[in-house]
Amino acid sequence: MGRTGEAVRRVTRLGFNPTWSPDGTHLAFTTENVQVTPLNRESGSELWVVDIDTAQLRRLDAPSATQAHWSPHGQRIAYVGWQATPRHIDIWTVPAEGGTPTPVTRDAATDWSPVWAPDGRHIYFSSDRQGSMNLWRVAVDESSGVVLGAPEPITTPAQMVAHPSISADGKRLAFSSVLMTQNIQVLDFDPVGAAVKGEPEWVTSGSRQWSSPDFSPDGQWLVFYSRAQPEGDIYVIRADGTGLRQVTSDATLARVPRWSPDGEWIAFFSTKSGRIQVWKVHPDGSGLSQVTKGPDTSLAAWSFDGARMSGSSPEGDDKVFLLDPSRDWNEQTPEVLATPPAALRPFIANSWSRDGERLVGQISYAAKGIVTYSRRTRTYDKFTDDGEYPVWLPDGRRVLFVARGKTFFVLDTRTRAVRSIFSVTRDVIGPPRLARDGRKACFSRRVTEADLWLVSLQ
């Protein structure tokens, strides 16, 4: 549209974070959005270029690209590339006319929000390579993408820098200073009426970021993981908010813990072996052992009796398998679920029905809908076009899930009816988990505040 709002016109029917070509004739965009959490994303996002006048689309070879930014002389496009194993979130560039991508950064740091300097000599970006997410720049040859030096810090007073933007004369830079907290809440839940009772209560508080809580079988404890540096350690806490204790502690990633039905183990996925695999540990931190040793496995779910566990490998061979968590991986042959139709891939199992007959999950990590799987008929059934992290209610008929990080819904798998039971406006909630009796629901709640800053680069 014109800068005063006239002549609004749709250019594409998909895409996020568009960036203009220098001559204003094209837009580059990606198919996945990134706001303030670059770690939680898929690897399937694509980079496209569209002609403004003709609407002709062209896809560039830029695997898992997000946050594209066109170079000032139109030669290359910088973007954020995501790799699952080993986990890397790095800055890349690719020729605007197509070609082989070139890495700008290639290390364990989380690098994102790239923007070119107006002279094309540097790329500015956000990075946590010195602990906090601050501003950096690196010298790059615009024509070839070759990096000409080591990244340099451009220290700002902000705790977290996101989405920098440089003025056309290169003298000033604007950015968002983001303060994001994420804590655990618990809701009273009526499993018969499938409704919440009262307002949620905080279990944790403060500036630490906690995610993916799960109840112990007796409902007295919660397990979750830390999203602060170091990324991904497992913690437990009493349901009343006392007794916080760290369970794992090393430099590798450990995420999405799930308590075993007998209370003896906590399963989680980790990069301890160099790949994303399922591990388990006793709640007191002892007995750490690897459960899966096959394809990348990023989510585990215990059966209600604890005799089986599902593992999802959307970044491996795109399969879900069922295994015996008490036996060594090499001494068993996991049951592999039937291959889902193409429209339902990858299926990520998240919860078992109490009779062990059905699993409920979602299509990918992009919240593309709730799906159930029947072990008896080896068939899938899709119920919604949105939603993620579903869990069975005790009746084995209804399912609780979150959609768009704003609303909890209950799905009746018999009538296919879906209704909202709890929602927020400004914050982000989920994923939900239920206590074993269904009378409590726990979840994380993210609160984000931000300011805009303007700094001089000279």
Is the domain of 360 the same as that of 243?
Answer: yes
Is the domain of 398 the same as that of 432?
Answer: yes
Distance CA 417, CA 254 (A): 36
Last residue of a domain, one of 170, 202, 237: 170
Is the domain of 340 the same as that of 433?
Answer: yes
Q: Does some domain include residue 455?
A: no
DSSP H or E stretch at residue 63: none
Is the domain of 98 the same as that of 231?
Answer: no
Could you tell me the CATH number of the domain that includes residue 70? 2.120.10.30
Q: Where are the beta strands (DSSP E) in 62-204?
A: 65-70, 76-83, 88-95, 102-103, 111-116, 122-130, 132-139, 152-154, 161-166, 172-190, 195-202
- The pTM is what? 0.78
Q: Does some domain include residue 246?
A: yes
Per-residue pLDDT of the chain (458 residues; tens, 9 = 90+): 999 999 999 999 999 999 999 999 999 999 988 876 676 555 578 999 999 999 999 999 998 899 999 999 999 999 999 876 556 789 999 999 999 999 999 988 889 999 999 999 999 999 988 878 899 999 999 999 999 999 999 878 887 899 999 999 999 999 999 888 999 999 999 999 999 999 999 999 988 889 999 999 999 999 999 976 556 799 999 999 999 999 999 888 899 999 999 999 999 999 899 888 999 999 999 999 999 998 888 889 999 999 999 998 765 556 899 999 999 999 999 999 999 998 898 899 999 999 999 999 999 866 679 999 999 999 999 999 999 999 999 999 999 999 999 999 999 999 999 999 999 998 999 899 999 999 999 999 999 888 999 989 87
Last residue of a domain, one of 115, 143, 170: 170
Last residue of a domain, one of 109, 144, 170: 170
Is the domain of 359 the same as that of 234?
Answer: yes
- 201 alpha carbon, distance to own chain's centre: 25
Instruction: Find the domain containing 369 and state its range.
Output: 179-448
Classified as helix, coil or strand, 389 is strand
